[in-house]
Each structure stands twice: as structure tokens, then as C-alpha cells.
A and B are shown apart, each in its own frame.
Chain A
Amino acid sequence: MSVTILAVAEQRNGEIKKTSFETVRKAREIADGLGGTFKALLIGNSINDTAKELGKYGAGSVIAVNNDKLTHYSTTAYTKVVGEIVKKEGAEIVFFPATALGKDLAPCVAARVDGAVAADCTELKIEGGDIIATRPVYAGKALIDVKIDAPVKIFTLRPNVFPAGEPSGDEATIEEASVDISDDDLKAKVTEMTETSKGKLDVTEADIIVSGGRGLKSPDNFHLIEELADVLDAAVGASRAVVDAGWRPHDEQVGQTGKTVSPALYVAVGISGAVQHLAGMSSSKYIVAINKDKDAPIFQIADYGVVGDALEIVPVLKDELKKTLGK
């Protein structure tokens, strides 16, 4: 009997995020490599039309679980749903995006289905019928290769690492499944959601990040970072020093005690490059450093460096990019 592989996709307010497309695409590739059966799973309420989208990224069929009690995320209820679908489908391999939802859900599901999780994987390969996953530890200061030895093998995939690829014209077949949700299953439930970033991108999801550090000299100068980020459609990041100083909110912090990111372009402005910061961003595809100290460690890992005062350089860079990008 062939192995069954499931990719759990995520929607918020009826919209599927790119990270889920990345996960579905990679899961499909692994399923093809193992000669297995592949399905995606989407949970929510009235999400059948949304679920069809997943077909464009390689999901031939999507199990849709609709229930008004599942409109908002609930760790306990969603754990029950994924657990039941895994058992019903006899899935032995399950993928999640390593998003806030995926990271919350995967370990709970693992306990429920006698599984184990390789978290935040950045590479997957098949060797002798087994999946070997590479995952960063110590915020990326080292990488480990792991193999899961459990009845259900679960992998969460780091955002922005596996390409989602171009969408095809395919539409997924929807298989509706129902799971009973009792009050007991809603011991933890989301009652409200508040936007924190005024519609701006989170650093973990962004293709481009512009980060600021002490070199900006004052929190009042951070508008320069925000404006540069705007021109590039980038997320704003920050070093630990400026977060500790209260200049910026902690959810912008990049580094070992903040967020680990792998964008296509990381622009470090006035950041010298402490070990713990470098750990969190050195896997970025391209790194630009702007710093007045030519010996700053950040230049050791930067693809392009400009030595000088950030306050003088950033406004010029913003204008030059505006001109070039026609904005």
C-alpha cells in the first residue's frame, strides 16, 4: 500500500497565505518522490472556494473541513480536526508551514496521533525511502540533519525557503469532511484578533526586510527605515539593541532572541552585526550593509556594503530606488 501524505494549509479570513502554497508544492514533490497519495487539508468555515486555490500549487484534492466553530483558530479544536483527518486518511507523513499557526498546531497533533515533529525545516530530501530533513539550530549558527522514527512523521517548513512556483490553471477537487466540535474541544479559543502592524508585512513573511540599529542614533530617525521599506514593499526589522532600548516593538526584532528570517534581500542599516543578530539573518539570499564602521562584523557577511552615516545614505538610497522603480 502506498504511503499517504497530507499538507495542512492555512487560511485567514478566507485567504491562503503564500507559506501554505510553498508547503503544498514541496509536499507534493515529496509525495511524487515516494510514490505516495497526496492530499491537502484546509480548515475553516465556508472555505470550499478558497480551498480550490491549492490546486494551482499541486494539490489534486483538498479535504475541506467547514464548521462555524472553526471560523477562528482554536488550538484544541484544530488539533482534533487534523488528528481525526490524519487517522481517517491513514496519513503517515504530514506537512505544515512553520507559521504561528503551524508551529502551534504541529506538536499538539503529534501528541494526538503518536507522531513527532521536525520543526522549521529548510531542506528535505529522500534517501532510501526516508525523508531526511535539515533544520537550523541555535538560530542558524548550525544545521542538523534529522530523521523521524515515529508512526506519523510531521514536518514544518520554514517560510520563504521552498519556492511556491508559478500557479497553474488547475483547480483542486474538494472532498468535504466533517468533524464534530463540542464545547470541550473549544477549551482554548480565539475571541478576537487585533492587527499590530497596520497592514504591514511581518518580517517572517517578507521577501525584503529593511532593518535598523543603533546607527540611526535616535528612535525619531526610524521613519527613514520605514520610508525605505515602503519603497521596496519591505517589512521593517530591528536589532536587539534598539528593541531593548525601547525604540522599536519586539515583534520587529531579528536575531536569536527575535525572529530568524531568510528573505531575498536584507538591508541592515546602522547594525554592526552582533553574533546573535547575524544568526537570525545570515541565510538571507542577498545582504546589504550600511554602516559607518568599515570593520563592523556585518560587512563580513554582506554581499554589498556601503561605509558611511546611515542618516546621510538612506534618504539618497530611497530617492534613487524611487526613481529606478518608477514610484
Chain B
Amino acid sequence: MKIAVCVNHVPDTETKVRVASDGKTIDPSGVNYVLNPYDEFAVEEALKIREKNNGEILAVSLGNDSNKETLRKVLAMGVDKAVLLKAAAEQDSYSVAKAISEYLKTYEPDLILIGKQSIDSDNSQVGGLLAEFLGLPSVSVVVKLEIADGIAKAEREIEGAHEHVELTLPCVISTQRGLNEPRYPSLKGIMQAKKKTIEEVDAQQTEPRVKIIGMKSPPEKQPGKIVGEGPDAVPELVRLLREEAKVV
């Protein structure tokens, strides 16, 4: 079984975002970049599926040289091969999915795993676009997955419920927290990953379709008032919620 897993290299959740001087992107100074948390579930799931079914896992990341850090990490987790699709800085979901789909056409995976969203641009789109560009079915926001006899049975999280989805392989699965507990790379894994080569390919470049005009900080919320201390403050809090905020 050939599994492709798409991984992104993103600012970690502790990042305090400042808008850069171009007014369109974030200031990268002091920002710590990590493997996108949702992609970690995709990598872990790929490893679990390989343990059962044998086969090979290829990790694909689109970006620049700094993405190699994330690719090294997933190699250390146990991924077999890694490729960096080198691309210009300005991308959108459409151009990313197009470039990855063009590359994967030559790899012909049985299964593609990807995090349900990147925690930087929060688009939740690449999985669906990728599937359509490759003519494959997809399921998103997956919290449970079983694969047997060319069929994937997935549970997908929706509002207040899970949809149980059946789909035929090859297919694209986008992963959500809850699917598994990602492993830490072992020391042996880290040593082996250092010896592996990360293949570098120029990504097929497509013009982004969603153009960023500008980036701004959200409106600053003014700190409100401390109503009081302890249970004694409760009646006043309730009064404010009813009479001032009018929300209860």
C-alpha cells in the first residue's frame, strides 16, 4: 500500500501574531515553526496503517527550505520518504492543492492523508481540492478510520454528531484531533532521519486565486470591569448581563 501524507510547516499555537511591514503577512521574527498539529494526526494514522498493511509512506510538503525541519520530523516519526515541493511564498489553497496533485499523479498513492486544516491560514480546503483534482472521493474531519479490502470506513465529526462514511480507495482523508495520539520520534528514528535524503522538486506554479489585499490585527478588546470577588459578586454580574449586555 502506498500512502502519501501532506504536511505543512506553520507557526506554533503560542505565536503572538504581528503584521509584517508589507501589511499582508505576519512578521516571522521570533516565531517558532512546527509540524501543523492536524497533520501530525495524518502522519500517525499513516504509520498505523503501514504497521497493519505494510507498504510505504511518502511525506509531501510545499514551501521552502525551512519546511525541511518538518519533513525531518516526520521521517523521524517513521515516514519512509520525503519530498519538498519548492514554491514561491505567495500561495492559496488552490495553488497548493494543484501543485501537490500534479506531483502525486506520478506517485499514484492508494491513500492520501492530510490534516483537516493548517493552523496558519485556517482554510480547510486542500484535502477537498486535492481529491477533486485527482478525481478521488474524500472525507474530511475524520476522528476514526478503518481500512480493509479497498474500502475506508471513516467517522467524520459534524455539529453534534458523527457521520459514518464509506468510501472506495484510492481516496483523500483529512484528519481531526481525536483520531489518534501522535507518537514522539524515537532516538533511533531521529538518527535514521538524519541519513535520509529529502527529495527537492520545483512545484508546478499556479496563480493564487484568493488574493490577499491586506492583513490587520483584530479589533483590540478593551478590558472590562472586575465586578467583584467571590460569590458576593454574582447578583451584580447577573444584573449587568441582563441590563447592560442584554444577553441573558
Taking A100-B159, A146-B213, A306-B228 as contacts, is the C-beta distance between A111 and B132 under 8 angstroms? yes
- Our pick among B16, B92, B161 for the contact of A196 (Cβ within 8 Å) is B161
Contacts of B119 in A (CB 8 A): 138-139, 256-257
- Our pick among B129, B141, B171, B212 for the contact of A110 (Cβ within 8 Å) is B129
Residues of A295-327 at the interface with B, using a CB-CB cut-off of 8 Å, are: 299-309, 312-313, 316-317, 320-321, 324-325
CB distance from A250 to the nearest CB of B (A): 4
- Our pick among A120, A187, A304 for the contact of B167 (Cβ within 8 Å) is A187
In the complex, residue of chain B having the shortest beta-carbon distance to the beta carbon of A103: B124
Contact assessment for B129 and A111 in the assembled complex, using a CB-CB cutoff below 8 Å:
yes
In the complex, residue of chain B having the shortest beta-carbon distance to the beta carbon of A240: B13
CB distance from B91 to the nearest CB of A (A): 12
Contacts of B245 in A (CB 8 A): 265, 286, 303-304
- Our pick among B97, B127, B161, B209 for the contact of A193 (Cβ within 8 Å) is B161
Contact assessment for A119 and B125 in the assembled complex, using a CB-CB cutoff below 8 Å:
yes
CB distance from B110 to the nearest CB of A (A): 14
In the assembled complex, the Cα of A222 lies from the Cα of B207 at a distance in Å of: 49
Contact assessment for A282 and B218 in the assembled complex, using a CB-CB cutoff below 8 Å:
yes
Taking A108-B131, A317-B234, A324-B238 as contacts, is the C-beta distance between A275 and B13 under 8 angstroms? yes
> Which of these binds chain B: A42-50, A173-181, A202-210?
A202-210
Contact assessment for B122 and A317 in the assembled complex, using a CB-CB cutoff below 8 Å:
no
Contacts of A294 in B (CB 8 A): 226
In the assembled complex, the Cα of A111 lies from the Cα of B128 at a distance in Å of: 8
A124, CB-defined interface residue at 8 Å: no
- Our pick among A105, A132, A302 for the contact of B213 (Cβ within 8 Å) is A132
Taking A99-B159, A107-B93 as contacts, is the C-beta distance between A116 and B218 under 8 angstroms? no
In the complex, residue of chain A having the shortest beta-carbon distance to the beta carbon of B12: A276
Contacts of A112 in B (CB 8 A): 132
Number of chain A residues whose Cβ lies closer than 8 Å to a Cβ of chain B? 100
Residues of A146-177 at the interface with B, using a CB-CB cut-off of 8 Å, are: 146-150
Contact assessment for B230 and A313 in the assembled complex, using a CB-CB cutoff below 8 Å:
yes
- Our pick among B128, B164, B241 for the contact of A304 (Cβ within 8 Å) is B241
In the complex, residue of chain B having the shortest beta-carbon distance to the beta carbon of A313: B231
In the assembled complex, the Cα of A118 lies from the Cα of B247 at a distance in Å of: 31
Contact assessment for A101 and B129 in the assembled complex, using a CB-CB cutoff below 8 Å:
no
Taking A104-B141, A137-B120 as contacts, is the C-beta distance between A317 and B238 under 8 angstroms? yes
In the complex, residue of chain A having the shortest beta-carbon distance to the beta carbon of B225: A304
Contact assessment for B221 and A301 in the assembled complex, using a CB-CB cutoff below 8 Å:
yes
Interface string of A18-40 (1 = CB under 8 A from B): 00000000000000000000000
Contacts of A249 in B (CB 8 A): 178
Interface string of B149-164 (1 = CB under 8 A from A): 0000001111111111
- Our pick among A75, A137, A147, A265 for the contact of B122 (Cβ within 8 Å) is A137
Contact assessment for B177 and A258 in the assembled complex, using a CB-CB cutoff below 8 Å:
yes
B224, CB-defined interface residue at 8 Å: yes
Tier of interface size on chain B: 35 or more
In the complex, residue of chain A having the shortest beta-carbon distance to the beta carbon of B10: A138
A15, CB-defined interface residue at 8 Å: no
Contacts of B127 in A (CB 8 A): 107
CB distance from B206 to the nearest CB of A (A): 11
Contacts of B131 in A (CB 8 A): 108
In the complex, residue of chain A having the shortest beta-carbon distance to the beta carbon of B152: A188
Contact assessment for B159 and A205 in the assembled complex, using a CB-CB cutoff below 8 Å:
yes
CB distance from B7 to the nearest CB of A (A): 16
Interface string of B86-129 (1 = CB under 8 A from A): 00000011100100000000000000000000011111111111
CB distance from A325 to the nearest CB of B (A): 7
Contact assessment for A107 and B160 in the assembled complex, using a CB-CB cutoff below 8 Å:
no
A68, CB-defined interface residue at 8 Å: no
In the assembled complex, the Cα of A149 lies from the Cα of B90 at a distance in Å of: 14
CB distance from B99 to the nearest CB of A (A): 14
B133, CB-defined interface residue at 8 Å: yes
- Our pick among A75, A118, A275 for the contact of B138 (Cβ within 8 Å) is A75
Contact assessment for A187 and B137 in the assembled complex, using a CB-CB cutoff below 8 Å:
yes
Taking A138-B26, A320-B234 as contacts, is the C-beta distance between A147 and B211 under 8 angstroms? yes
B223, CB-defined interface residue at 8 Å: yes
CB distance from B32 to the nearest CB of A (A): 12
In the complex, residue of chain B having the shortest beta-carbon distance to the beta carbon of A283: B218
Taking A119-B122, A119-B123 as contacts, is the C-beta distance between A202 and B233 under 8 angstroms? no
Contact assessment for B247 and A143 in the assembled complex, using a CB-CB cutoff below 8 Å:
no
Residues of A70-88 at the interface with B, using a CB-CB cut-off of 8 Å, are: 72-73, 75-76, 79
Contacts of A274 in B (CB 8 A): 14
A117-B123, A146-B212, A192-B164 given; name 6 further pairs at CB < 8 Å.
A107-B126, A202-B159, A250-B178, A302-B224, A317-B234, A321-B248
- Chain A interface residues (CB < 8 Å from chain B): 17, 72-73, 75-76, 79, 99-101, 103-108, 110-112, 116-120, 132, 135-150, 187-197, 199-202, 204-205, 208, 232, 249-251, 253, 255-258, 260, 264-265, 274-276, 279, 282-283, 285-288, 294, 299-309, 312-313, 316-317, 320-321, 324-325
Pick 12 A–B contacts, CB within 8 A, sort by A: A104-B140, A117-B93, A146-B213, A188-B138, A188-B171, A250-B177, A276-B13, A282-B221, A286-B241, A301-B223, A304-B240, A312-B231
